[in-house]
């Protein structure tokens, strides 16, 4: 396992800022005041859908109501550092804290009361076994807090039996991926506005597969939210 200088620092100074590694002052929690003011926020919730890069990404693939990402992902930046800690350094509480923070921002915007249920993208069982937690679930739990939405961490499940990809055509593989996710609790999402949550939005194909499963199970609408967009 890669040991980073930051991990070493955290041994001696457990209360370092997750963004810049500076030592936190009393009253500061997890992220220092300077980072809180200067992180690369997307503010996608304040722009109209036609100009929203997430809505553009899903255009023609899957209808989404709102496209949200808290932060912009930049390589070797603070956001990458935070995501690394969330995914590989056993810091799921940071994902939950970012979810709560974003949730309070959204709750002070036009998006207040727009989501009935928060559903995280399920992690592959193998990864779950190694990591011990699903970071998207922690972010989703935080997001549901101020939005006062129901949190349904097990609404979706990931099928593993259908994932053998070898010797399949492109079409079959695509069909396969789209069947990887299944709604296991249809009663919790039927006729509801869903906020589907992942850690990072890259190609969007996982969110698309999950969103389609939710819409097939008669969700009223699907919006997507992530900690960061690449
Ligand atoms: Zn900082």
Query: What are the pLDDT digits (tens) for 157-181?
Result: 998 765 455 566 666 665 656 678 9
Closest CA to 150 of 158, 139, 163, 141: 141
Q: In the prediction, which pLDDT does 74 show?
A: 83
Query: What are the pLDDT digits (tens) for 135-144?
Result: 999 999 999 9
Query: What are the pLDDT digits (tens) for 53-99?
Result: 999 999 999 999 999 999 999 877 999 999 999 999 999 999 999 99
Q: Are 199 and 226 a contacting pair, CB within 8 Å? A: yes
Q: How far is the CA of 11 from the centre of ligand 1 (A)?
A: 17
DSSP per-residue string spanning 107-171: HTSTTTT--SEEEEPPPPHHHHHHHSS-HHHHHHHHHHHHHT-EE-TTSEEE--TT---TT--HH
Q: How far is the CA of 24 from the centre of ligand 1 (A)?
A: 8
Show the domains of the chain with their CATH numbers: 1-38 (no CATH), 39-229 (3.40.50.2020)
- Three-state SS for 197? strand
d(CA 224, CA 95): 16
Q: How far is the CA of 202 from the centre of ligand 1 (A)?
A: 25
d(CA 85, CA 6): 10
Q: How far is the CA of 36 from the centre of ligand 1 (A)?
A: 7
* Confidence grade of residue 11 (pLDDT, cut at 50, 70, 90): low
* Strands in 62-122 per DSSP E: 67-72, 117-120
Q: How far is the CA of 49 from the centre of ligand 1 (A)?
A: 31
Q: How far is the CA of 47 from the centre of ligand 1 (A)?
A: 27
- Positive or negative: CA dihedral 187, 220, 145, 197: positive
Q: How far is the CA of 64 from the centre of ligand 1 (A)?
A: 34
pLDDT at 221 over 70: yes
d(CA 201, CA 58): 11
Alpha helices in 39-124 (DSSP H): 53-58, 78-88, 92-107
Q: How far is the CA of 80 from the centre of ligand 1 (A)?
A: 13
Q: In the prediction, which pLDDT does 160 show?
A: 78
Q: How far is the CA of 125 from the centre of ligand 1 (A)?
A: 33
pLDDT at 131 over 60: yes
């Amino acid at each position: 396992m890669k040991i980073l200088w930051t991990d070493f620092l955290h041994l001696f100074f457990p209360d370092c800022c997750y963004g810049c590694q500076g030592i936190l002052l009393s009253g500061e929690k997890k992220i220092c005041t300077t980072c809180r003011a200067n992180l690369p926020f997307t503010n996608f919730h304040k722009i109209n859908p036609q100009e929203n890069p997430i809505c553009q990404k899903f255009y023609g693939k899957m209808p989404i109501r709102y496209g949200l990402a808290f932060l912009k992902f930049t390589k070797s930046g603070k956001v990458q550092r935070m995501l690394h800690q969330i995914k590989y350094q056993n810091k799921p509480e940071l994902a939950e804290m970012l979810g709560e923070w974003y949730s309070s921002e959204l709750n002070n915007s036009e998006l207040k009361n727009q989501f009935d249920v928060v559903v995280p993208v399920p992690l592959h069982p193998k990864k779950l076994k190694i990591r011990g937690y699903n970071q998207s679930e922690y972010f989703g739990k935080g997001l549901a807090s101020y939005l006062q939405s129901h949190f349904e961490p097990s609404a979706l499940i990931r099928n593993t039996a259908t994932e053998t990809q070898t010797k399949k055509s492109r079409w079959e593989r695509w069909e396969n991926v789209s069947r990887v996710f299944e709604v296991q609790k249809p009663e919790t999402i039927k006729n509801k506005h869903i906020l589907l949550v992942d850690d990072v939005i890259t190609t969007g194909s996982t969110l698309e597969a999950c969103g389609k499963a939710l819409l097939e199970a008669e969700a009223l609408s699907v919006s997507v939210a992530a900690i960061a967009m690449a």
